[in-house]
Structure 1
Amino acid sequence: MTEDTHSVLVVTKDSKLSQSISVMLMPPLFETEVLSDFNEARRRVSERTYNIILVDYSDGEGADFATDASESLSTILLLTPPALFEEVSYRVEGYGIISITNPFDQFYFYNMIKAAIAVQYKVQVLSSQTTKLKVKMEEIKLVNRAKMLLMQNMSMTEQEAHRFIEKNAMDRSMKRTAIADEIIKRYG
């Protein structure tokens, strides 16, 4: 999958609906997979991340699947009957699921897919930032643990321990985390 290709999982028991969606989501812009079994769809979602998941309401089974799948980083669109739209939309909004009415016209559907793509880009940026923050927090914990060990075993102050790690990292052209690892292995 390239940057310009969006992976889409379509989950519906309605073959006419899946066919019309597949016609609108054509390669090379979309890599579309269609499933009619919700349990199989759960398995696939646990194995890989899709950019967009389109789910047919299907007597409530689709809404249940959509809420389960909402734990993934996928943007989820739930195709909902007009008579149930307000009720279902209200129930799934808290999970970050976007409800759209079914049946729909092509222009409306196209706009919702464009919105889903925009949301997906934002999710990817936020996910990347979250990952970077987690890595940074782990580095800080590691260095703090090493400082604590230096304070306990070498009778250093917190500032001296900090300076010791920083100086060693600069003098040896190593990362602070590598120096912290050495300290932890020695004293931990």
Structure 2
Amino acid sequence: MAKALIVSAGNNANEYLARHIAELGYTRPVIVPSGGEARRQMDGKDFEVIVINTPLPDEFGHELGTDAVQKTDAGVILLAKTGTAEQISDKLQEFGVLVLGKPFTAPQFRQAVQMAASNYKRLALLRVENQKLLDKIAQLRLVDRAKCYLIEKKGMTETDAHRLLEKPARDPGRSGGGVAQRPLDAADAE
């Protein structure tokens, strides 16, 4: 189940925020009173949503918001008094921090949490896609290294090296990287 972090020094606000987050299906959120403690929590846990209720006792909270966006995949919401929210929202939104002016209604808060959660999910999908692309690039590099080895050390033509590596890689259950690794392992054994 998804986890949420609430960074807030006010007990009344903590209960209000926790109750509305729970209504959206989150387990009991982790609640911490300061930016320093929030940073420690972010290092060890994966949060879907981080809510920062400003001001905090050790900092205002906007620095924590930008840190959270840069260091985690969480959707980040910063709660600030309406006047302050208007002043800082443009700058923080450039980083991907949602700013919600206080006072706000329960539906506005729940909508902000849902938007932050959708950002988290979208980023998670992008990270999976990015990893697939990185794996594909690594496989292509390995095949290229194997081709170079076969051309330089075994005297093959590029066409012959390509055919030697590509044909077995098309067999079901075999990857191009696994096929390409064999000549390189043989080279290391020599």
TM-score between the two structures when normalised by the length of structure 1: 0.88
| SS of residue matched to 2:5 | strand
Superposition map of 1:131-142 within 5 A:
131-142=131-142
- Return closer, same or farther for 1:127/1:21 CA change in 2, 3 Å cut-off: same
Distance 2:158 2:100 in 1: 57
Structure 1, gaps ≥5 residues long? none
Partner of 1:122: 122
2:24–2:110 contact (8 Å) kept in structure 1: no
1:165–1:180 contact (8 Å) kept in structure 2: yes
* Structure 1 residue 27: Cα displacement: 6.6
* 1:109-159 CA distance string (max 9 Å, x none): 111122222222222211211111111111111111111111111122333
Does 2:127 correspond to 1:101? no
TM-score between the two structures when normalised by the length of structure 2: 0.87
More moved, 171-180 vs 144-153: 171-180
- Return closer, same or farther for 1:38/1:93 CA change in 2, 3 Å cut-off: same
Superposition map of 1:141-180 within 5 A:
141-170=141-170, 174-180=174-180
| SS of residue matched to 1:174 | coil
Partner of 1:112: 112
1:9–1:52 contact (8 Å) kept in structure 2: yes
Structure 2, gaps ≥5 residues long? none
- Return closer, same or farther for 1:81/1:43 CA change in 2, 3 Å cut-off: same
* Structure 1 residue 170: Cα displacement: 5.0
- Return closer, same or farther for 1:166/1:37 CA change in 2, 3 Å cut-off: same
2:74–2:116 contact (8 Å) kept in structure 1: no
Equivalent AA in structure 1 for residue 184 of structure 2: I
Partner of 2:41: 44
Superposition map of 1:67-86 within 5 A:
67-71=66-70, 72-86=72-86
| SS of residue matched to 2:73 | coil
